[in-house]
Structure 1
Amino acid sequence: MNDLWVFGYGSLMWRPGFPFLEAAPARIKGRHRRLCVYSWVHRGTEAEPGLVLGLDRGGSCLGRVFRVAAEEREATIDYLRAREQVTMVYLERTVRAALADGSDREVSALTYVVDRSHAQYAGPLPRERQLEIVRTASGQSGPNPDYVLATADHLEELGVHDDNLHWIADALRGRVKADATSA
């Protein structure tokens, strides 16, 4: 059995929750990071949904890959399914990830992409609406603003600036005026 690679683009980057042998920045093509998933469990409820990231169609995404020892493979997949598949809004996929660590390696990595046909798929919402949802939502894993701020901070550490996510983070921190004219 081979080692398992896992690609994270949101909270998995800063809170993987499983043991790993190696971590590195990596890019995938054909998908991009977007706040496009209504969270009914981790960062909101069905009555008052939060908003979390999904890998949506098009573009590319710089995230982080983790190499998991072969003997931890099944336990890690079980953990990820329990964490990511609570409401089945994500589809489990294997993607090609190019490591951005100077090694020129490319690996097949397990990841979770948004299911556009699922009721929790929010699609591309105006950033003011995203901010409105994030600002007050909270779920089993904590307040929605904590998720957005931690992800934005981690992206900064990787040298990634996501215009939309960082605008929302700055608005949550009171650094930008958030009104309907700035959307």
Structure 2
Amino acid sequence: MEGPAAPKRSHRLTREALRDGFVHEMIARSGINLPVLSDAERHASLQATLATQPAPGDVWLFGYGSLIWNPAFHHVEQKPVLIRGWHREFCLSTPIGRGTPEAPGLVLGLDRGGSCRGVAFRIARAEAEAELELVWRREMVTGAYVPRWVRLHGPDLPEDTFGIAFTINRKAPNYVRSASEADTARVIATACGALGSCRDYLFDTIHGLEGFGIHDHHLNRIARQVRVHRS
């Protein structure tokens, strides 16, 4: 079912799987030669990000895709927010998670320009390093993303509230320039990998956003074309 009443799916990226190195094992089993960050590089990236937190206190994390419907980290609050200067786009080719080397899939990144509505998660500062370590094991695997602090805009947030967002690394080998919605839909309609189908990823993201009252017209147009391809 791919409508508003679609059942909640189980996901392979659980806390336990992330803690046990599931993502790295998945890449190793694939036999694909992908550049993977070492534990030391990943740890250094997390520490460098926390060291530049604009203000002390709890840590906010901005979710725009799968973090919304499968966060897999502990948080004390979540709310819809807006960020400016970045937009949600299917700009990352994936030959493993949601695709194969023969038929790569597409997943979301934050690319430059525009704005994006998503969900901000507040993580207690005392737990931030441990919880973000799980997030880094999930997002900072191949260096396809650049973590950075972005200003969060919301009706009940102080003006100078910042959160971590995983923006796309345009120098990454699997970064792809924005394609037409029709071309994107053709890929999403058929691509499938170790973590499931691109189609499920798209609809889970749409449903997750709608749960917070967010309607992404770009994603909805792609979804309509995906349904046509699947019919």
Shorter chain as denominator, the TM-score bin is 0.7 to 0.9
Equivalent residue, structure 2, for 1:90: 145
Tell me the CA shift for residue 139 of structure 1. 2.1
Counterpart-to-counterpart distance in 2, 1:24 and 1:158: 8
1:122-133 correspondence runs (5 A): 122-133=176-187
* 1:118 positional shift: 1.3
Look up the SS of the partner of 1:116 in the other structure.
Answer: coil
CA distance in 2 between counterparts of 1:43 and 1:129 reads 16
1:142-167 CA distances to partner (integer Å, 9 max, x unpaired)? 11100001111222333333232111
Secondary structure of the residue aligned to 2:188 is helix
SS in 2 for 1:160: coil
Larger Cα-atom Rg: 2
Counterpart of 1:125 in structure 2: which amino acid? A
Greater share of residues in helix? 2
Q: Which residue number corresponds to residue 112 of structure 2? A: 57
Match of 1:31 among 77, 86, 96: 86
- Residue by residue over 1:70-91, the C-alpha shift from the partner in whole angstroms, topping out at 9 and shown as x without a partner, is 2221112211111112221111
Structure 2 residue 156 is matched with structure 1 residue 103: yes
CA distance in 1, matches of 2:157, 2:137: 32
Q: Given residue 103 of structure 1, which amino acid in structure 2 is its aligned partner?
A: D
Which residue in the other structure is 2:198 paired with? Answer: 144
After superposition, the Cα gap between the structure-2 partners of 1:104 and 1:81, relative to the gap in structure 1 and judged at 3 Å, is: closer
Aligned residue number for residue 169 of structure 1? 223
Higher mean C-alpha deviation, range 153-162 or range 118-127:
153-162
- Indicate whether 1:2 and 2:72 are aligned: no
Distance 1:109 1:157, change over 3 A: same
Q: Which has the higher strand share?
A: 1
One-letter amino acid of the structure 1 residue matched with residue 85 of structure 2: G
Q: Aligned AA for 2:108?
A: L
Contact 2:61/2:163 (<8 A) preserved = yes
Where does residue 134 of structure 2 map in the other structure? 79
Secondary structure of the structure 1 residue equivalent to 2:186: helix
Partner AA of 1:105 in structure 2 = P
Structure 2 unaligned residues grouped into runs of 5+ = 1-55
Q: Per-residue CA shift, 1:72-120, capped at 9, x if unaligned?
A: 2111221111111222111111111112xx3142421111000112111
Match of 1:181 in 2: none
> Which one has more relative contact order, counting CA pairs under 8 Å at least 6 apart?
1
RMSD: 1.8
Separation of aligned partners in 2, 1:54 and 1:68 = 22
How many residues are treated as equivalent by the alignment? 174
Segment drifting more, 60-69 vs 129-138: 129-138
Q: Secondary structure at the residue paired with 2:202?
A: helix
